[in-house]
Structure formats: structure tokens, C-alpha cells
């Protein structure tokens, strides 16, 4: 009797804590060795990258590499000697520890559910967590329509400053904090920026579609 194929319901537990996404080099911008940010782009995604981020405090996506076949520990841990950009400073390319908390979590999930890398990526894609599809295409088309009709530009601003009691327009610093005096940890909001005359600037937030709307577009 053939083994039962895993279904996407097994993702429910890990998705309470982490966001998972399949992406490619076109829609995922590689910022460092394991750190990525997403781009809004209309394309046919090859879905060859598995990314994860903490649902509550993660700002950046972490690349999840293929789980090592050997050794097979009871629990995967993060490498103590890993430095992003330099790799493991002790074992170099022979290191079999995870490069991030996100990677260790996903590897432990794969081990406990006996799910290999390709199967997990297929399950993630089946849940609609791929950086492709009709919803992404329509979002890009909508942005292009706004620019065509109204002009201006789209910018990422600090969410805490933008929604604060006294609204502040703050961009991102190099160290992933906002440029205001508060220096909030960087969590962006997408806004449409339009200059009306020489002195007036208007910023309008572009709100995300609710989950039900995404499902209706599939």
C-alpha cells in the first residue's frame, strides 16, 4: 500500500507562528546570505525558493535551504558560529546546523511530519502562499493603473509613524529602523505619494486585501 501523501492541513500549526512563501529570483530580492525582501511584480514565478518569517516580529524573509540528510539529530538548532555574509566561521561549508531560527523551525517541522523539501514547497504553493498567481497580477495591474491616472509614486514608510497620533513620514535607515527620532524597528506600510503643487504632499495608504478576497481571486 502506497504511503499517504501529506496534505496542506499539516501546515496549520506552523502557519500560526510563521509565514511561508515560495518565490523566485524575480520576486525575491536577496539582501544577504539568507535574508530576502519581496518585490511586487507581475511574472510567472518559478517557485524555486522557500522563504519563512516570524508572523509576529519578523521583518525580513529567511531562505530555507534543503534539510541535510546527515546527520539526523532529534532536534535541529541554529549554528552558534554562523555570521550572515560569512557563513559558519568554524565549520565553513561542512556545517549542518540551521542558519536562522526560521530555518531550524522549518527543518524540525519537516522532520516531525516526514516531509521533504519539494513536498513542503508544493504544499505551500497549494495554500496560495506563492508569490505568483492572479491576485499578485491584479495587484500589480492596479498599481500601474493608479500611476497612469494620478501620477506620483509608491513608497514604503514606517507603519508606526504613519499611523501614530501625530502622523510622521519616515523612510527606512540602513540598519532597518525608521528615520524618525523614535527609530522604530522597520515595519513598512505601502503608500501612494502625490505632490500637489510645490508645498502640499499627499500620502495615501495602500491597504492589503483581506484573506477572503485573495481566496476569491484564485
Residues 40-90 pLDDT 10s: 766 778 889 999 999 887 778 999 999 988 888 999 999 999 998 888 999
Mean pLDDT of the chain: 81
Contact 88, 96 (CB under 8 A): no
Q: Give the Cα separation of 73 and 190 in Å (integer).
A: 42
Domain boundaries, given as residue ranges, for the chain = 8-126, 134-217
State pLDDT tens for residues 8-31. Answer: 678 888 988 898 999 888 888 888
Q: Does the predicted model carry a pTM greater than 0.75?
A: no
Q: Give the Cα separation of 103 and 2 in Å (integer).
A: 30
Q: What number is the average pLDDT over the span 100-116?
A: 94
- Largest Cα–Cα separation, the chain: 73
Chain center to CA of 50: 10
Residue 214: predicted pLDDT: 42
Place of cell 520576486: 27
Half-sphere exposure in the Cβ direction for 213 (13 Å, CA): 8
Supply the DSSP symbol for 130. B
At 163 the three-state DSSP class reads coil
CA distances from 13 to 16, 91, 122, 201 (A): 6, 33, 17, 44
Name 173's Cβ contacts closer than 8 Å, sequence gap at least 6.
179, 183, 186
Supply the DSSP symbol for 9. G
State pLDDT tens for residues 175-216. Answer: 778 999 999 998 888 888 887 666 678 888 877 655 554 444
CA distances from 146 to 8, 89, 207, 217 (A): 36, 48, 14, 20
Amino acid at each position: 500500500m502506497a504511503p499517504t501523501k501529506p496534505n496542506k492541513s499539516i501546515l496549520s500549526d506552523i502557519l500560526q507562528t510563521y509565514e511561508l512563501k515560495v518565490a523566485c529570483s524575480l520576486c525575491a530580492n536577496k539582501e544577504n546570505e539568507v535574508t530576502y525582501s519581496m518585490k511586487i511584480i507581475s511574472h510567472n514565478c518559478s517557485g524555486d525558493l522557500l522563504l519563512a518569517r516570524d508572523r509576529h516580529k519578523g521583518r525580513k524573509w529567511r531562505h530555507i535551504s534543503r534539510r541535510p540528510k546527515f546527520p539526523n539529530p532529534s532536534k535541529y538548532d541554529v549554528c552558534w558560529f554562523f555570521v550572515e555574509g560569512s557563513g559558519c566561521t568554524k565549520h565553513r561549508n561542512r556545517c549542518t546546523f540551521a542558519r536562522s531560527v526560521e530555518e531550524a523551525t522549518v527543518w524540525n517541522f519537516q522532520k516531525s511530519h516526514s516531509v521533504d523539501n519539494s513536498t513542503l514547497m508544493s504544499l505551500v504553493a497549494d495554500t496560495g502562499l506563492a508569490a505568483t498567481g492572479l491576485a499578485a497580477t491584479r495587484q500589480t495591474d492596479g498599481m500601474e493603473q493608479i500611476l497612469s491616472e494620478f501620477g506620483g509614486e509608491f513608497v514604503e514608510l514606517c507603519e508606526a509613524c504613519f499611523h501614530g497620533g501625530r502622523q510622521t513620514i519616515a523612510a527606512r535607515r540602513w540598519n532597518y529602523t525608521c528615520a524618525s527620532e523614535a527609530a522604530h524597528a522597520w515595519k513598512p506600510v505601502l503608500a501612494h505619494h502625490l505632490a500637489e503643487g510645490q508645498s502640499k504632499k499627499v500620502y495615501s495608504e495602500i491597504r492589503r486585501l483581506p484573506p477572503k478576497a485573495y481566496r476569491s481571486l484564485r
